[in-house]
Amino acid sequence: MKILWLCNIILPDFCECFDLNKTMAGGWISGMLQELEKREDMQIALCFPIIDENRVKQGRFHGHQFFSFQCDLYSDDYIYADENLIIQMQKIVSDYEPDIIHIWGTEYPHTYGMVEACKREGLLNRVVINIQGLVSIYSKHFLLGIPQRYITKMDVEGTSLAQKKNLFVKRGILETKAIKNVKYVIGRTEWDRACTYWINPQIHYFFGGEILRSVFYENCGSWKEESCRRHMIFVSQGDYSIKGMHFLLEGCKLLRQKYADLQIIVAGRDIFCAGELTTYAQLLKELMREGDLEGHVQFVGKKDESQMCQYYQQANVFVMPSVIENSPNSLCEALMTGVPVVAANVGGISSIIRHGKEGFLYQSDAPYMMAYYIDLIFARKIDIELLKVNEVNRAMEFNSVYKCSEQTMAAYHIIEKG
């Protein structure tokens, strides 16, 4: 069986082929690749986007054939699948002649470009789209909790939050068209199942879990209350409005009144390191001043998997304040280590954890409830050890390496048979 994977990024192990620094993204794709490449009954080729046209290449590396195509993921103009993009995809499909085309994500126009290319090649019934996030749906939640004066305010990049939301809306048009045109999707939550159903009621939905990065299986249940940093909150990302950092700061304003040593550690892109702040960073600065949180919030930048694992282990609680998510791997990583979890009950989160059993869920625009559950954990008003056991068991079930790879293989066999 020959499989072609279309990815939104160059996977870390292939970065050196393009003379690029190794990234820290796409761990779930790399994890699945490592499992499936053990099988002798299939070949997996990979297809990557590259900004620099001069670096577009194809070849073999790590035992896999790979292809690339030119596009600029970071351009606000990348909202269309033009003929050139479709032709690039069509040539890749024609050269490789795959039995199945597995598209990882719908967020960018090349997903639709690949769907259209497969339609032209008579392979549309061999395409399966793996749902990551859904920008068409995310756009509806993009500005939740943002004060009106910040929505239209232009930032140093020359754009407003309203315009950034509109980019999601525009990309969502092709996302919707792609899902309407294919026969199969892979998802893992009730949320992505519902969303894809309303886009295409005829679609065949496969459940397929995601494999975490290996360090988290190696450190399963490694969080210990006695060695954590008391009153430290860890957040995996907070650089744009969907991640809900503004709600976190509102909740921490309440906690600050009780915990003088409160610390908030934020991984991911540091939006405070630039000379001039984005509009969203300006809002966060204002909330930090109002909540007496200056000096208590630290953006630590992007971290690799080992460093992320250490932060989960050090934290007193992991918080996911996002206004919308599907199945964030950072949440699953936190569960795997056993650190107490508080998360906004949005999107697919309730398919991953159950309130009061593996963590605590709250209404996303009710940060006072978030603060309440964090306080329960800080003050040891719950059975922390039982919570940890439940978390680890749930993570091992939801992110079982064997189970996730078998689910994907089962989907491939059904698609191959037609």
365 Cβ partners below 8 Å, 6+ apart? 144, 145, 247, 323
- Domain edges within the chain: 2-213+400-413, 214-398
H runs (alpha helix) in 275-400? 279-290, 305-314, 329-337, 367-378, 384-398
226 vs 257: CA distance, rounded Å:
24
**DSSP at 355:** B
So what's the architecture of 2-213+400-413 in CATH? 3-Layer(aba) Sandwich (3.40)
Fold matches, 2-213+400-413 and 214-398? yes
Radius of gyration of the chain (CA): 21
Which H helix or E strand runs over 411? helix 401-417
Determine the residue type at 401.
V
> Which pLDDT score is estimated for 412?
97
pLDDT tens-place string over residues 173-223 = 999 999 999 999 999 999 999 999 999 999 999 999 999 999 999 999 999
Q: Which amino acid is at 91?
A: K
With a cut of 50, which residues of the chain have pLDDT below it?
A: none
CA separation for the pair 39, 35 (Å, rounded): 8
pLDDT of residue 246: 98
pLDDT one-digit tens code per residue, 231-280: 999 999 999 999 999 999 999 999 999 999 999 999 998 988 867 789 99
- Detail the DSSP E strand segments found in 212-274: 232-235, 263-267
* Tokens 């159950």, located at residue: 354
Tell which residue, 80, 59, 84, 68, has the closest CA to residue 7.
68
The contacts of residue 92 (CB under 8 Å, 6+ apart) are 4, 47, 58, 67, 69, 117
- pTM (2 d.p.): 0.94
Residue/partner pairs of 80-87 with CB below 8 Å, 24 or more apart: 80/109, 80/174, 81/109, 81/110, 81/112, 81/113, 81/116, 81/174, 85/109, 85/110, 85/113, 86/113, 86/116, 86/117, 86/120, 87/117
Q: How far apart are CA 197 and CA 342, in angstroms?
A: 29
Q: Read out DSSP for 283-311?
A: HHHHHHHHTT-TTSEEEEE---HHHHHHH
Q: pLDDT at position 59, please?
A: 87
Architecture category of domain 214-398 in CATH: 3-Layer(aba) Sandwich (3.40)
